[in-house]
Structure 1
């Protein structure tokens, strides 16, 4: 007997027609076929103190040459749909997996989208004509242009620890593109991946495959901070086991294959400190440079000499913030990135945390402060007579009351939200960090009494503070809660549960700004860290509006009007000339050359301590008190769907979101009225980021979702749930039911008035009071309505009466 496909669900179509056709073509169910492949996590939407994840769809079927090497995507639809209905979805998933083949099917056959065949891009094929693994692999290799020599490297297995962890789609692209480039002979590779997206794990998988394929036998992983090397060795690189060593005591041990090292352990200003010269220039086959935007970016850096000594090695640069200025260029050295994954993409995919910005403007910052004639500071020094503004405070002038107000604002925010939320306060220097620590301690005596490490200064000069860094970034350790710092925690600090980033430091460098924002962008569902707040006292968050924030900036060159106006000059050649003059890095973007060369042996960059003297301006830092300081404005902004910060209420967000879903009030009402379960629409809108509790707080707690939408989006006068319930009672429509049924429906109406339509549709509602006094659910349905279907019909009629006035 033939199966009536039109009555089958999408799942049935997959199991009865699509999968059998794929397996019949020779695809292995264990290693080559994956079902329900979730490529994204679902963007987090934040309003107020609430957050929700948007629900994301999974690719129905992904096909692989072998694990980690995707080839094709298959998207299915129920048979009542046209055969190619799922193609656009399939193409979206194919783009994420970077594969040229996409299939759509309704069970009758397949529409085959084949990017390797531009002459016939989409064709319809029968179920029994699905391509074999060998056919797609051959077409894929030809499309990629792989040579026979590349294939052993490209097909080398990933590391699999058996836990089920596999690279995310963007990590897969980064790994595969890097391995492809290196197997093709490219010796300089740049990977740009936003902070928190797993650069080190990605690097590990690249190294593992090249190492296991014996393409690269000796590997050096370079970093400029001890914490980066130790985290790497203990976590992502742990599978290398006894083949791996950390370079210590300035000794390169040739007995090991995988070497992890600080620049500082391999070189120094003196010749005897240049430990890298203990081995030949061709000793390493592969060098991976972590955070390559820092020390190794500058051509005159002492650290660049290591890369140039091992010039014959393949070199991979990892960075979240590629440096492209008129002084320093990553791309001059590494070339254009083989892959880029931005912060905006990470937030849209739900892998990175969005942010809420609370910008606080202080009167003294906006209006400036000027000393009275002959005024002296706390130390008796005559204060230079000029107007001091926002950039001066805590750099050349300290106002105690300003420090106190900033600390009070931080404390108030934490008390109002979560006093135990991990918080990093970025200060101008060590002196500022110490004063901020003291102010926060004095404002939180109750918390400090519970644990004196509630507030800690974690800076390069403080051994006790640095010793607490691991505890701060460990989600299982509650203390320290608040860390005051200046430079030490800007990078390399994997603080997954950091929920508050405080900016009281003037930041001029886009690179540094991106790094600091990156301290909060990690998501940790286990500890309910889905988003974070930026508390900004210095207008630093204006940098979000800079076009360089979420992309690779255009390269800037130094030139002159004569060159620009000369028709014979070739600016393109100048732009691409790697020998273009490059000057020192600005102080704001990087520690100075001498500071880099003499970094402490722990691998941490020393914080610049200007407590007595500001070297940059050659003036003393004045310290005053007795100044009245007030907060004159506070603005809350949210990360919007287009990646921009917007100042809006949740009411505004809901209006914009629903306008995309429904073109008119009539369309919304029709969908609501025709839905068998209103809860389905409520959940659908939750998946779009509508937070009902937050909306009810803004508009009215006693309105149900229907009236919230009608009022907020379409400006209709709302009815409360109680008003709707009273209207139903006035119509007296219950009289057609038996006494038992009327009692049940009246009780359900009361539950609606109290808690909303979800209560009526709750399957367990008949198991609680007051229904338990009538009997068991099955008895109630039989006695009052007859059959379960009649009970369901009565519920539908009750809902129709509730929303009848609409």
Structure 2
């Protein structure tokens, strides 16, 4: 008789668990086994290097329908109990919105019911009595309140193009919940999904499933957006499979023979009754309307854009937004109801689908302390300047200081020179005039780059046709130019700048909605273009909004720039911390709310005309010298980098003895360092101050326990001088010496990873299997590496 306890987990799955599942009626296409990774793995930034943490996966994900997963199954080897791993499996099931959870060790199953409809939350089930698909599906329908007439819509399938692309887990949840809400007769639906998580792709799948499930009924669907580039990108990308059934509404003519309509708000509404093209359609013409970025014009109750939604009030209306808007005057939750699903920026970063970010805070003296004119001082026109205190809110709205423009442009230029001169960068300015001045200042500081290509720096604002024509090139990963775009409002939303690596904040942004939208310009990940994270340069203290409870995404770190005299040192610290077609319709710049001098939002379409004074010759300096971090609760902590690191290490290891005990007990020493880094301690950033040739182990001892740091090369040489190497002979000794050299060059991680045997200089000794056999096999080789680890770190005094 077979001894189950001698079998691996894979063997238990193959011989017992999979046959038990398929034997109860689950076809193999309904069973996703072992390699179903539903996250990408959070991106961890240390210095200039960005790596991914391990992605989350389930052993099995069971589907009743192609779009409908019903169960997570966690497998263990037979040395475990059948219920081991249940807590993690339930957590994953909640993430995946899956109702049933099973664990097994090959003897039986333990079933966990999340619906609350079964007699027990958890129960043990014999191996040969795994539930049939139809049984779990019937419980699911009862749980979701799905009745027979609506089942065809709920069971409808996604669009696939044969490439293997399928919705990510959170997109699937958003699509399924929307389709189920529609099937149950809900007329207003709100989805909240962070910028960069694929709202338009999600919308396309919702529309596809609704359209295909009702094909015989000729349903007509309208997709509304407020930027022309959004419509055009959507038409040729996520919506292209609708083909000849789709058209774009312009402000010239209406053809009512199509089924899928794409339109700008501006194309179907206007100030004159005759220009309200949407009224050429009957109120019941559309069956489904999907509204992109619904936090904007359509949210406000008296908006002309809201009139469109109210005119087609009989249609099902689905609102998509990254930032649900709730103010005393504006509420899209009031109109659409509470979100049926939310996927936040923080979740996207944690899952590795969105890029994390670093924040550099730069304070000038005039922004921090304000500015007051000397007695009798005149502006550049020779007119007297009102004698009062001008604050940061006045700068660039009422008071223009050309020297400040110059200082900001210098900082941006030097930052890019020291990091990546061709990193796509967006500079958000107060208004169009400010964007124009920043473009000019940057152009004059980048003469060589401008000679290479005059489009290196472009102003992209609503009033600049040439700049708007370059917007497509800016967001195209294949296009090198433009590199730097100065803007005010036009690029806050709807700009899918996937390779944007730098966001510059030089505008007084106080709206959380606008702030999140701007941050979203950098959240796309493009590993194939080296875009794993992005940097925010904040000149206006806008990043104070990180501490707002409404913000839901923690930055990697926040750095405060140093004074002018220490400018290069500051950039060094930062550097080492780093690793459309606009055709027929007119797009207006101020689609965000305009604010009057008292901070009151003006009605849409109105703006503040403020007289600006320009005063040249006012000296401006960059001041401040502190490092700030965001803690796990999103609150700013003001302390030095060293103090922050020491406090966090001592919080886990109160004494040197505690740390060394954990270090010596660890199967892999590098795992201790990895755990410290995973908790947000920026060891790589600190090592730059001490020296990259210092071991991270010694860095911890130095920062937290006041020990003198030792270089890796010195530790390696100490081992070579000892008698330790005499225990090895021949090629085995050569390999150990090579491991010591590898440690001196790169650290303990590479030594402990057996994959190191596949690279130089080890390849010259032969294949990894041949090398480990010199030590008596793989286990003996691992013992040798563990002993070498111990020898390297020998002699640390407690």
In the superposition, the TM-score normalised over structure 1's length comes to: 0.86
In structure 2, C-alpha distance between the alignment counterparts of 1:757 and 1:722, rounded to whole Å: 12
Cα deviation, 1:362-415, whole Å, max 9, x if unaligned, reads 111122222233322212222222221111111111111011001111111111
Show the counterpart of 2:82.
Answer: 83
Matched, 1:149 2:149: yes
> Does residue 262 in structure 1 map to residue 261 in structure 2?
no
Out of 786, 790, 793, the position equivalent to 1:803 is 793
Q: In the alignment, which residue of structure 2 is the partner of 1:604?
A: 587
Structure 1 spans left out of the alignment, 5+ residues? 552-598
- How many residues are aligned here? 753
Partner of 1:164: 164
Q: State the partner residue of 2:617.
A: 626
User: 1:51-86 CA distances to partner (integer Å, 9 max, x unpaired)?
Assistant: 332222311110111111110101112222222111
1:703 aligns with 2:703: no
Give, in whole Å, the separation in 1 of the partners of 2:207 and 2:771: 66
Partner Cα separation in structure 1 for residue 79 and residue 541 of structure 2: 56
Give 1:106's aligned residue: 105
Mapped pair 1:240 → 2:231: no
CA distance 1:403–1:174, change in 2 (3 Å): same
CA contact (8 A) 1:429 1:607 kept: no
Pair 268,127 (structure 1): closer, same or farther in 2 beyond 3 Å: same
Q: Does 1:128 align with 2:128?
A: yes
Q: Could you tell me how far 1:497 is from its partner in structure 2?
A: 1.0
Equivalent residues in 2 for 1:628-647 (5 A)? 628-633=619-624, 637=628, 640-644=631-635, 646=637
Cα-to-partner distance string for 1:415-456 (whole Å, 9 max, x where unaligned): 111111111111111111111100000011111111111110
Residue of 269, 286, 308 corresponding to 2:288: 286
2:411 corresponds to which of 404, 409, 412: 409
Q: How does 1:151-550 map to 2 (within 5 A)?
A: 151-214=151-214, 217-550=219-552
The Cα of 1:115 is off from its aligned counterpart by 2.4
Distance 1:165 1:637 in 2: 41
Question: Is the 8 Å Cα contact of residues 251 and 268 (structure 2) preserved in structure 1?
Answer: no
What does residue 578 of structure 2 align with?
Answer: none
**In the TM superposition, what is the alpha-carbon distance from 1:492 to its structure 2 partner?**
1.0
Partner of 2:52: 53
C-alpha displacement at 1:12, in angstroms? 2.1
8 Å contact from structure 2 (residues 546, 634) kept in 1: no
Task: State how far apart, in whole Å, the 2-side matches of 1:207 and 1:532 are.
Answer: 33
**Helix, strand or coil for the counterpart of 1:374?**
coil
Q: Does 1:732 align with 2:734?
A: no
- Range 11-20 or range 176-185, more displaced: 11-20
Instruction: Report if aligned partners of 2:738, 2:761 keep a CA contact under 8 Å in 1.
Output: no
Q: CA deviation at 1:282?
A: 0.9
Match of 1:720 among 705, 711, 719: 711
Q: 1:692 to 1:541 in 2, by over 3 A?
A: closer
- Shift in Å at residue 23 of structure 1? 0.9
The match for 1:565 is: none
- TM-score, normalised to structure 2, is 0.87
Q: Distance in 2 between matches of 1:440 and 1:740?
A: 59
Q: Deviations over 1:28-54 (max 9, x none)?
A: 112443432212222223344333322
**Residues in 2 aligned to 1:290 and 1:631: alpha-carbon distance in whole angstroms:** 40
Indicate yes or no: 2:45 matched with 1:38: no
Q: Which stretch shifts more, 205-214 or 652-661? A: 652-661
1:11 alignment counterpart: 10
Q: CA deviation at 1:344?
A: 1.6
Alpha-carbon distance, 1:697 to partner: 2.4
Question: Matched residue of 2:124: which SS?
Answer: strand
Task: Decide whether the 8 Å contact of 1:377 with 1:623 is kept in 2.
Answer: yes
Structure 1 residue 678 displacement after superposition:
5.3
Partner secondary structure for residue 189 of structure 1: strand
- The whole-number CA distance in structure 2 between the counterparts of 1:768 and 1:357 is 38
Distance 1:53 1:358 in 2: 23
| CA distance in structure 2 between the partners assigned to 1:258 and 1:15 by the alignment | 47
Please list every run of 5 or more consecutive structure 2 residues that lacks an aligned counterpart in the other structure: 554-581, 598-605
Once the 2 structures are TM-superposed, how far is the Cα of residue 479 of structure 1 from its aligned partner? 0.4
Q: Kindly tell me: are residues 155 and 697 of structure 1, through their superposed partners in 2, closer, same or farther at Cα, counting changes over 3 Å?
A: same
Answer whether contact 1:47 1:650 (CA < 8 A) is retained: no
CA contact (8 A) 1:32 1:67 kept: no
Give the alignment of 1:684-703 within 5 angstroms: 693-694=684-685, 696-703=687-694
Distance 1:12 1:248, change over 3 A: same
> 2-side partners of 1:128 and 1:779: how far apart?
45
Q: Which moved more, 1:241-250 or 1:599-608?
A: 599-608
| 1:763-774 aligned within 5 A | none
User: Matches of 2:168 and 2:731 in 1, distance apart?
Assistant: 56
Do the aligned residues in 1 keep the contact of 2:40 with 2:56 (CA within 8 Å)?
no
Contact 1:46 1:638 in 2 (8 A): no
Q: Name the structure 2 match of 1:586.
A: none
Q: Distance in 2 between matches of 1:159 and 1:96?
A: 23
C-alpha spacing 1:730/1:66, structure 2 compared with 1 (3 Å)? same
Cα distance between partner residues in 1 of 2:465 and 2:265? 21
Q: 1:224 to 1:540 in 2, by over 3 A?
A: same
Equivalent pair of 1:506/1:538 in contact (CA under 8 Å): yes
Give the aligned CA root-mean-square deviation in angstroms: 3.3
Q: Give the deviation of 1:649 after TM superposition.
A: 7.0
Alpha-carbon distance, 1:130 to partner: 0.8
Write the deviation string for residues 689-739 of structure 1: whole angstroms up to 9, x where unpaired: 777754542444333344344545565555433443454455524455557
Q: What is the CA–CA distance in structure 2 between the aligned matches of 1:336 and 1:792, rounded to whole Å?
A: 55
How many angstroms apart in 2 are the aligned matches of 1:759 and 1:544?
A: 37
Once residues 231 and 335 of structure 1 are traced to their aligned partners in structure 2, the CA distance between those partners, rounded to angstroms, is 29
Deviation at 1:235, TM superposition (A): 0.9
